[in-house]
Amino acid sequence: MKSPVIIDLKFDQEQVAAALKGAFADREVINLLHPGSRKRDLSGIDYAVVWRPGADLFSRAKDLKVVFSGGAGVDHVLTLPGLPDVPLVRFVDDTLTTRMSEWVVLQCLLHLRQHQAYEAQRQKRVWRELVQPEAKELTVGIMGFGVLGQDAAAKLKTLGFNVIGWSRSRKQVDGFETFDASGLNAFLAKTDILVGLLPLTPDTKGIFNTGLFTRLSRKGPLGAPVFINAGRGGSQVEADIVASINDGTLRGASLDVFETEPLPLESPLWSMDKVVITPHAAAASDVAALFRHVAGQIERLESGKPLEHLVDRSAGY
């Protein structure tokens, strides 16, 4: 008998229910957000798919063999109380990659075409054309040059942007200049638009701060650099973003992630006309794609093949 799959996802439950129709057709699914599952015995079950699960999940499901993250990020999973010492698999899918790239490209174009400045003029009924640089005149530096970063880089390059990549360990990627930890200063000095796609680890917590922003290029046609972040909110210091925009260290910012989510109503970011805010929506998980991903990985494991997209717990991603 095939092991059931536990689903404990703090997603929209209508989407979860719709995605479960036809998913895991050959095994039982236990959706813990369904009222009838609250007292269910979870012993002897091999698999759990989680996103902000209940505090008692791992004490109830003591025999898990694999935990699947419901999203690309895993920092919140790694800190869950009682997380068992079993393989942890992150969600990797073309739907996530495509959505993230679309958001990154959109934000770079908004800043290139000075959308916020035109919006401010519109509100004042000012008709004035601004000097318009070309994409090829700016360098986009992407911090976090994995699957998401490389896909965004390829699309930005097609539009004419110069694109460079940074990661803790240097990656060789055809067509792109890349940097590692030792080359951070050189990377920053070339970057006019900084894109953050980093996982949250002890090394990346608070990395996007005033000290880093002051090392960005100020030679580009827009003058001060721009900061774009869709990685993790814990990697940025929001007080430093506010101060850097106010004193001209940064020209503007686009933020999809925040130190506290939802973004508190009292945050000054809400009222800053040089800041674009989206509610952690750059690359929302497609629940049906998530379940296909999990089913595929379970099939690999049960047929004797190794799991893919395993998280390195020591690295944090």
Is 128 designated active site? no
CA distance linking residue 239 with residue 170, whole number of Å: 30
The span from the CA of 234 to the CA of 251, in Å, is: 22
**Token pair 């063999």: residue:** 65
Residue 232 · residue 73 · CB < 8 Å:
yes
Q: Which of 34, 170, 280, 292 is catalytic?
A: 280
115 is a catalytic site residue: no
Q: What is the distance between the alpha carbons of residues 5 and 21, in angstroms, rounded to a whole number? A: 14
| Active-site entry in 99, 232, 293, 309 | 232
Token pair 């940097």: residue = 179
User: 266's torsion region: left (phi>0), alpha (psi -120 to 50) or beta?
Assistant: alpha
Structural tokens at position 18:
């719709």
DSSP letter for each residue of 240-277: HHHHHHHTTS-SEEEES--SSSSPPTT-GGGG-TTEEE
DSSP-derived 3-state class of residue 198: coil
Residues contacting residue 303 through CB under 8 Å, at least 6 positions apart: none
The residues annotated as belonging to the active site are 232, 280
